[in-house]
Amino acid sequence: MPAEPVVHIVDDDEGVRSSLSFLLECSDLTTRTYESAVEFLKAVPTMARGCIITDVRMPQVSGMELVARLKDLGVGDPVIVITGHADVPMAIAALRQGVADFIEKPFSDEAILLAVRSALAKQQSRGEVEIERDAIQQRLATLSGREREVMDGLILGKANKVIAFDLDISARTVEVYRANVMTKMRARTLSELVRMAMIAQLG
């Protein structure tokens, strides 16, 4: 069973950290607080999955710099950026960097709770896709080289006879490999097989 998600709050203002943590904890959400982006970055390798709330203006490393560094580190947790100095170009830049939300201070309790719950829901969906992708990759690993070639042809929409011609084997042999592929991949239909390939980022 997956661990409970954690909301990581990164802000150099102790008052903001405390109030946000209190609000979220009262809504049954687990939080961790950090007084700087530097402190948070040190915790990234072992941090619990969830979402991240970061202020924009912080010493040493700003919120936007933090977003960029997290992207470089391959951290996929959604980020909510909060600021008391918002402007349109900054908001556009943040959204282009892939932040989940951009909220200007002062914000209501409802606004931040909605943003957090939406971010966590997206993170959960992403996690489910990753689990499914891993399962598909494991099934792919059970295919022989020839079965993989036949599968590639099927995904491209080629008929058995065309695949047979391309691989210089008989159509009957293609049918055997095709049946093996469907069984090993646990695909009931060709459309399911194509969907699996898309999830595995193969075709």
Per-residue pLDDT tens digits for 106-142: 888 998 999 999 888 877 766 666 778 888 889 999 9
Which has more pLDDT, 32 or 107?
A: 32
66 touches 37 (CB < 8 A): yes
Residues 149 and 122 in one domain: no
* Whole-number pLDDT of residue 3: 67
For 144-179, write each residue's pLDDT tens digit. Answer: 999 999 999 998 888 999 999 999 999 999 999 999
Tokens of 156: 């491209």
Q: Domains in the chain: how many in total?
A: 2
What pLDDT does 86 receive?
62
First-residue to last-residue Cα distance in the chain: 31
Q: Are 80 and 162 found together in one domain?
A: no
47 vs 151: CA distance, rounded Å: 39
Return the residue matching tokens 């200007």: 104
Whether residue 136 is contained in a domain is answered as: no
Supply the pLDDT for residue 190: 82
For residue 82, what are the domain limits?
6-126
